[in-house]
Chain A
Amino acid sequence: MPTSTLESDITKIELKDRPVEKSPIQLAMSRFGHNRLAIAALILLAFLIVISVAAPLLAPYNPIKRNIADRLHAPSLQYILGTDALGRDSLSRIIYGGRVSLWVGLASVVLSLVLGVPLGLIAGYLGGLLDGAIMRVMDLILAFPGIIFAIWLVSMIGPGVNQVILANALFSLPEYSRVIRGSVLTIKDADYVSASRALGCNSFQVMWRHIFPNVLAPIIVISSLSISGAILAGASLSFLGLGAQPPTPEWGAMLADGRPYIRTAWWLALFPGIMLTLVVLASNIAGDGLRDALDPRASTKRA
């Protein structure tokens, strides 16, 4: 009978596509696992992290030891990526330089989360005057174009890697708090929130136990996407002399040091930039992959 085969077909498809066994996290992970480019980017990032951590074992020379006799040495077998104006080995400095960049990227995002998540939760859930006050302060930060905010802040608290991390975190605060606030607003009237309030949870408990876990997806997306921006901003500030201070090896600062010798020592302007581009590219692609895997639209389609 043609009708019965049609019915059996329908049942089969329904059974096969039932997603109930997989949690949202498992689904996201399997989606991410199918994104080959994102996996490659993640492997590259892991590789760079390993190199930075193992820098003392891998670097052929001491990255801050001067050797004026061998200054501005072109790439050779002895110095694979050449030496800088103070005779320091570029390869060793590049290997160590990843530490600063990766640390700035990671620490900026963590600090943004520590500051931005509570602000976004409070602004979204409590609303009212507090919400208005928080959002107006965010407007003030947004009034600074790009790196000007960091420049202004560093001018007051002095140059340095920690100051750059603080500047990055504060500058991305409006984005974090706005995104989180928006997500909170969409779920704060959900039944489970009202139910938890009816059961006697105070505001803090509602925000932390019931709202926060349900806005995790946008939080993860925004943090993964902002790592590359933080690394770039950190390197830019170091290039301007406001971040990592000499003799700390840092890619942006190395490029700034190489700038005066660009006519003769091309290697000083080339290699740190390649590393920086690779790190930023890898974190961009991995971040995009994570966003696609956690895409809120995909999860609503499922529900």
Chain B
Amino acid sequence: MLTYILRRLFISIFLVLALIAVVFFMLRTVVPGDPALVLAGENAPPEVIEQIRHNQGLDKPVIVQFLYFLRNLSHGDLGRSSMTRELVTQRLVEAMPITLTLTGLCFVYTMLLGILIGVITAYWHDTWLDNLIRVLTVTGASMPTFWFGLMLILIFAVGFGILPVQGGLSVRGMILPTICLGTGSAAYLARLVRAAMLEVLNSDYVRTARAKGVRELGVVLKHALRNALIPILTVAGFQIGGLLGGAVITESIFGLPGMGTLSINAIHNRDYSLIQGTVLFIVVIYLFVNLLVDISYAYVDPRIRYN
């Protein structure tokens, strides 16, 4: 187990370093324009631009700049926003709670709703209820997240007026964003739970449990669901990453000041150090979550470790 963790950790660290290099060099080579000019502002005198270029190390070769960047990064310094002059890391730390809360709530919501619907549709499979839910999930999977969010606002905020149009770090402010982002992955999870449950419900040990006179609810929850859950949990883990990416769109629908909104605003302002910082930050969180999921999967299923 320890060798497996170390190997996965090594691969992840290597991937993160490679990503840092790619993001850094792409930004320096692909983006047109002089970063010193952007930092100094449109009408700055040439001496000031030259001064900034020197101070920022922009007159050095790109490879030296990269080493500077890595050194600063090791101190937790991702540079300063060229718009507001604030530290990029500070902006990220401010925005992070929103995104992580949203992702976390969505994960819980996805698990609860996905397992519930999956179990119901498997238990009453091929009935009208199963068919209705199938139609709903297929349609739901084709619905863009941002439109689903707008419809939620239209119905619950504008129509009934029971929830705010604007999201926020509060119970009421997080309900609609969570439903918006989590429902799609819940539908996906429900399909997997249904398939896994159908298999397990036909197995011998479930029949034995019934024959012994275990109550129906006990059969479904204790004997069937527990055995169906292992493959489901891994898929669910990898969905966290998808939720992290989807959070960008959801934040912009509900006006949540998270990392997604931060990166979109940074793009509109051509604030490259902020874009670089946000992208790297999100990617590292994503890789970290995937690493944890991999390790927990290997813990649950020993066959994985020797692959």
Which A residues are within 8 Å of any B CB, using their own CB?
136, 139-140, 143-148, 151-152, 154-157, 159, 228, 232, 235-236, 239-242, 252, 255-256, 258-259, 262-263, 266, 269-270, 272-273, 276-277, 280-281, 284-285
Judge whether A157 and B146 touch: CB under 8 Å.
no
Judge whether A148 and B279 touch: CB under 8 Å.
yes
Q: Residue on A with the closest CB to B146?
A: A239
Which B residues are within 8 Å of any A CB, using their own CB?
15, 18-19, 22-23, 26-27, 30-31, 138-139, 141-147, 150-151, 153-154, 158, 165, 241-242, 244-246, 248-249, 252-253, 263-264, 266-268, 272, 275, 279, 282-283, 286-287
A140 to B249, CA, bound (A): 22
Q: How far is the CB of A115 from chain B (nearest CB, A)?
A: 17
- Main SS of the interface on chain A? helix
A166 to B23, CA, bound (A): 17
Q: How far is the CB of A33 from chain B (nearest CB, A)?
A: 21
Q: Could you show 28 A-B contacts with beta carbons less than 8 Å apart?
A: A140-B18, A140-B22, A143-B19, A145-B241, A145-B244, A145-B282, A146-B246, A148-B245, A148-B283, A151-B263, A151-B279, A154-B267, A155-B267, A155-B279, A236-B144, A240-B252, A241-B268, A255-B146, A262-B154, A262-B165, A263-B158, A263-B165, A266-B158, A269-B154, A270-B154, A273-B143, A277-B144, A280-B144
Q: Residue on B with the closest CB to A231?
A: B144
Judge whether A277 and B19 touch: CB under 8 Å.
no
Q: Which among B27, B246, B286 is the interface contact of A143 at CB below 8 angstroms?
A: B286
Extra pairs beyond A146-B244, A258-B150 (14, CB < 8 Å) = A139-B15, A145-B244, A147-B245, A148-B244, A148-B248, A148-B286, A228-B142, A235-B146, A236-B249, A239-B249, A266-B158, A277-B143, A280-B143, A281-B138
Judge whether B144 and A143 touch: CB under 8 Å.
no
Known: A143-B19, A148-B248, A266-B158. A277 touches B283 (CB 8 A): no
Judge whether A155 and B275 touch: CB under 8 Å.
yes
Known: A156-B27, A263-B165. A143 touches B15 (CB 8 A): yes
Known: A140-B22, A273-B150. A152 touches B144 (CB 8 A): no
Known: A145-B283, A277-B139. A152 touches B23 (CB 8 A): yes
When distances are taken between beta carbons in the complex, the residues of chain A under 8 Å from B272 are: 155
Judge whether A242 and B267 touch: CB under 8 Å.
yes
Q: Residue on A with the closest CB to B29?
A: A156
Q: Residue on A with the closest CB to B11?
A: A139
When distances are taken between beta carbons in the complex, the residues of chain B under 8 Å from A235 are: 144, 146
Q: Which among A144, A156, A270, A277 is the interface contact of B142 at CB below 8 angstroms?
A: A277
Q: How far is the CB of B155 from chain A (nearest CB, A)?
A: 10
Judge whether A281 and B139 touch: CB under 8 Å.
yes
Judge whether A147 and B248 touch: CB under 8 Å.
yes
Q: Residue on A with the closest CB to B279?
A: A152
A240 to B245, CA, bound (A): 13
A241 to B112, CA, bound (A): 33
